[in-house]
Amino acid sequence: MTLHKHAVSGAIALGLALAATPLLAQEKVTLRVGYFSQLHDAAVLDLESQLKDKYTFEYMKFQRYADAAIALSRGDIDISSLGYANLITEAAKGTEPKFQFVSGLARGAINLVCHNDVKIADWADLKGKTVGIVAGFPEIFLDDAMRTHGQSPKDVEKVNFAVAGPPVLQSLQNRTTDCSAVFEPFGATAVSAGYAYYPPTDIADNSFKGLNNALAVNTEFKQKHAAVIEDVSATVKASTKKFSEQPEQWVAFMTKSQDFPQDIVEIGVKRAVLDSTLYPAEAAVLAGNMKELGLIREQPSQAQLDKFFAK
């Protein structure tokens, strides 16, 4: 082979290599996923098992929605489970969204549990009771549900706890409080332990449909990887449908993936509603509740809220 032919062959090979490199680099997008160890994050946790052949996943566990919202806004993570309250708090600032909701995750999953010695048969029975409240969403759920069912939130004595955790349940077990409004699986933990029960007063039966959390995406990431987010959103919807229709799979998945005791999961999944629908109108109702409790100064307009829901 002549020197000229060697040079031509080498150039072709180099060209093919350079052309192939970016394709290989783009084969698998890495998704940095924020999640919470809670029963209603099942569809988020299921993403990797459903899409591992297409994308690389890095999961990051958070304890508070507020911390996940900050990380998502800064671009430290790409997608995350996030509470509706976080969307409303950001919308109230009047700025352009740094994240958007692309799929719903759950409604409910915040419940009232009462000590076995406290008999609650109807909403009126809550009058005069002492209720442990985890600051934020549980109080909104309780207040709104009481008003929805013809009662006044002022008729219960609230004992505030800064975060969900053992002190809330210990207070209930010791009868320092009669009932507690708590996130799951704390309610299921108390029921499983045998000292508490779920009364027929479902605090998720409220004016904003018990909105809880949704899947949020960093807006810059969404612009760069629109097809990826469409894929993720479709997968979340499919997982939501699967777990809703086959709760035994939901129980098995959460027991294995989060190392939850099976009896607690079996109780807890009955108290949450997986729902991939997004609810912009109900978010406005929830925003009104947040303003009334002083959690936001100004209630964002529907138009401002709508910016935070992907079209």
**172-202 pLDDT per residue, tens:** 999 999 999 999 999 999 999 999 999 999 9
Taking the CA atoms of residue 145, residue 126, residue 162 and residue 116 in that order, the dihedral angle to the nearest 10 degrees is -120
Percent of the chain at pLDDT > 90 equals: 86
Query: In the numeric block, which tokens belong to residue 309?
Result: 């829901």
| DSSP code of residue 135 | T
Radius of gyration of the chain (CA): 23
pLDDT band at 94 (very low <50, low <70, confident <90, very high): very high
- Compute φ and ψ for 237, nearest 5 degrees: -65, -40
Which domains does the chain carry? 29-108+211-306 (3.40.190.10), 110-197 (3.40.190.10)
pLDDT attached to residue 6: 43
- The whole-model pTM stands at 0.87
Q: In this structure, which amino acid lies at residue 202?
A: D
pLDDT attached to residue 134: 82
185 cis-preceded (ω within 30 degrees of 0): yes
pLDDT attached to residue 136: 81
| DSSP code of residue 115 | E
Sheet-wide strand order for 99-108 = 55-61, 29-35, 79-83, 211-218, 99-108, 272-274
